[in-house]
Amino acid sequence: MIATDRPLAIIAGGGSVPTRVATAAMEAGRPLFVVGIEGEADPGIEGFPHAWVGWGSIGRLERLLAAHGTKDLVLVGNIRLRPDFKRLKPDFGTIKALPEIASILIGGDNSVLTGVIRFMETRGYTIVGAHEIATDLVAELGPVAGRSPREAEMEDARIALEAARTIGELDAGQAAVSSGKHVIALEAAEGTDAMLERVASLKQQGRLRRDGPVGVLAKCAKPQQDLRVDMPTIGPRTVEGVVKAGLAGIAIEARHVMIVDRDEVVKLARDAGIFIVALDLARR
């Protein structure tokens, strides 16, 4: 992690990653404050100095951050980007910021996060990536889990990763599957899990080879993705999807893909006999 003792605030959405980041910050001796988003964050954040805020309580959020002298923020965890506005109880800080918030939301999904970052930065905050605090959320170049890939599997890994990069450049998706040196699935709005279900179903229909596990899922970041707040991820569900799809392994872009619940991912990959490797991706 970054060598600093500036106070850090973690704005925590759902899932296990926020507590993972909090633990890493604590271990590094960094002053820490966790702000759990109500209805999103895991109760595990209560093991750290924390407070809960509701969607739309920007006034309260800013007062909390000011009270802790915190200018460095990690925004991490699953959030529903378009909260149910009927349940919103905006506080005064939110109402003051409403025109800006409205323009963020109107911009559509892709620009929401960019909008949030810009909104916080204009208020003097610095956005820090979760993987800058908990560095093992991403993988360095090389083997990550499970057995070693064979040469033909490495070729599928490279073909799938190249395809994933290409569709990332189209801002369409982050994942692709190659099998037998041929791209057989490309991810767009459906997401990685649904794409893997499709591969499983094509194999069941006999429309793809299925003599033993073959083929590789690759995942990488889009060039326009802000890795501080929006990283491609793999997790236990990804490994399960890959196994059900009869694939041989997973290739992720080194340092650009978050591994959620890494211990479980490693165990699942080993037990299933698949491989996970991190590869470098030359950016065009």
The contact set with a copy of itself (CB under 8 A) reads: 108, 110, 162-163, 166-167, 169-173, 176-177, 180, 182-190, 194, 198, 202, 207-208
With respect to a copy of itself, which residue has the nearer C-beta, 130 or 163? 163
Q: Give the C-alpha separation, 81 to 32, whole Å.
A: 25
Q: How near is the Cβ of 106 to a copy of itself at its closest, in Å?
A: 12
Beta bridge partners of 233: 258
Tell me, rounded to whole angstroms, the distance of Cα 55 from its chain centroid. 21
Pairing mode, if any, of strands 216-219 and 175-179?
antiparallel
Report the 10 Å Cβ neighbour count for 120: 21
Of the two residues 154 and 186, which places its CB atom closer to a copy of itself in the complex?
Answer: 186
Joined tokens for residue 270: 């080993």
In the complex, least distance from residue 109 CB atom to a copy of itself, rounded to whole angstroms: 9
| Bridge partners, residue 54, by sequence | none
Name the phi and psi angles at 250, rounded to 5.
Answer: -130, 135
Region of residue 170 (phi > 0: left; psi between -120 and 50: alpha; otherwise: beta): alpha
Residue (136 or 190) nearer to a copy of itself, CB: 190
85 vs 92 by CB, closer to a copy of itself: 85
Q: Please state the closest distance from residue 218 (CB atom) to a copy of itself, in A.
A: 12
The smaller minimum CB distance to a copy of itself, of residues 95 and 194, is found at 194
CB of 233 to a copy of itself, least distance (A): 18
* Sign, Cα dihedral of 46, 48, 51, 53: negative
What is the residue type of 280? D
Is the CB of 43 or the CB of 191 nearer to a copy of itself? 191
Supply the minimum distance, in Å, between the C-beta of residue 87 and a copy of itself. Answer: 17
Nearest to 257 by CA among 236, 224, 231: 231
CB of 209 to a copy of itself, least distance (A): 10
Distant-in-sequence, close-in-space partners of 136: CB < 8 Å, separation ≥ 6: 259, 262
**Smallest distance, a copy of itself to C-beta of residue 230, A:** 16
Residues 6+ apart with CB under 8 A from 110: 171
Residue with smaller CB distance to a copy of itself, 62 or 155: 155
